[in-house]
Amino acid sequence: MPATRTIHRALITGMGAVTPIGNDIEEYWEGLRTGRNGIGRVTQWDAAADLVQIAGEVKGFDIEPYLERKVARRTGRFAQFAHAAGVQAMRDGGLEVTDTNRDDIGVVMATSGDVFNMGPEWMAYVERGSRGVDPFIITRMGQHMGAARLARQLGVRGPNTTINTACASGTDALGHALSLIRLGHARAVLVGGAEAMITPLSLSSMGRMGALSKNNDDPAHACRPFDIQRDGFILGEGSGVLLIESEEAALARGARVYGELAGVGWSFDATDDTAPDPEGQALAMTRAMRDAGIEPSQVDYINAHGTSTPLNDRTETHAIKIALGDRDARRVKISSTKSMTGHLAAGAGGIEAVASVLALHHGLVPPTINYEFPDPECDLDITPNVAVEARIDVVMSNSFGLGGQNASAVFRRFQG
């Protein structure tokens, strides 16, 4: 008779964040709490003649407190963000790497890598041939290097995985990490997402697709989820990382517990590359609630995908009504923190998981800023413009990817 496998609960004991509204969790939470705008004109190059000239850039970031300069030069911007947020999460959680635990600490990171930043490398090849090519392209730009660099610098040897499922990636990463903890493949996992896609290529491509806002003259008000004047999302950058541990490991060392990663659900639309399907999105939410063992009536706050595109926000509103039922959909508090940070694409689920857990921890729902003109097709409580105090025991975070991938995560107040 096969042995019975113990299923371990996953507790959140540390967090880190590098975002357009703050470069650690204290600054990030202050920005969320006060409705700080992180969107502005692009400063990384002269975008004055470009179709899209605005983005949510990280400001004042310094990698040197986290990574020595020599290594940083061979580390891509997205991986630098991931490293900083991961180190912050370890410090916040008070977890020290030792010879006895290093094999049981894993890293799961979601990212697109530096795929949209290859232009200069191609130009170097065209102009100088093979001799012009940087020999460290793979270690600087490879998607796997966010997780790999962080694990190597920390000296941890547990499972190391990189996830890319478009904008669902960060929440997909949470699901993979949850499985590692539940099944005992790791006692602790650093999990999150990182992105540095603000490049001429990405803004031009997505702008021509019609996905991005072209409100270049008023960047502070360009990202307006659920508002009827929304015209597209704003690309952001940064990283959010959570330290999750098995209940046994966390309690054994007396760790502070922010909450529990209680469940994750996935689905696929199987309809269209760019047009989301409310049935598919609702299925991910329903599966997440089932995985967490909760009912729709127990969800207190939803951190919405809320991209600020005309189609997405309308579709997500419909999906929430399907998943929760009309009564609970109208009761639950909802907000889109993308209104402040922009959309981090594959990294979105990471910083939004951190936002969700901070909301749970502080009992405060962050606002959806720039909400001025209601859309009758987005008629739920989206917490307009000002944060609201609330009793929060259960939070759901949604991430829906371009292409049809959907993922939802449920966080719960920990009851030992």
CA distance between the termini of the chain: 31
pLDDT at 86 over 70: yes
Exactly one of 83, 167, 318, 361 is catalytic; name it: 167
What's the pLDDT tens digit per position in 365-381? 999 999 999 999 999 99
365 strand-pairing partners: 388
User: Domain ranges in the chain?
Assistant: 10-252, 263-412
At the fourth CATH level, the homologous superfamily of domain 10-252 is Thiolase/Chalcone synthase (3.40.47.10)
CATH of domain 263-412: 3.40.47.10
pLDDT tens by residue, 5-30: 899 999 999 999 999 999 999 999 99
pLDDT band (50, 70, 90) for residue 138: confident
Q: Is 318 a catalytic residue?
A: no
pLDDT over 70 (residue 85): yes
Please confirm, yes or no, whether 185 is among the known catalytic residues: no
Buried/exposed code over 30-41 (b: 16+ C-beta within 10 A; e: otherwise): ebbbebbbbbbe
Q: Are 409 and 353 in contact (CB under 8 A)?
A: yes
Asked if 10-252 and 263-412 have one fold, the answer is yes
Residue of 8, 83, 305, 361 with catalytic role: 305
Flag whether pLDDT at 1 surpasses 70. Answer: no
In this prediction, residue 385 carries a pLDDT of: 99
Grouping H, G, I as helix, E, B as strand and the rest as coil, residue 59 is coil
Query: What burial letters (b/e) apply to 250-283, b meaning 16+ CB within 10 Å?
Result: beeeebebbbbbbbbbbbbbeeeeeebbbbbbbb
pLDDT (tens digit per residue) in 97-130: 999 999 999 999 999 998 777 777 778 878 888 8
Which three-class secondary structure state does DSSP give residue 372? coil
Q: Is 343 designated active site?
A: yes
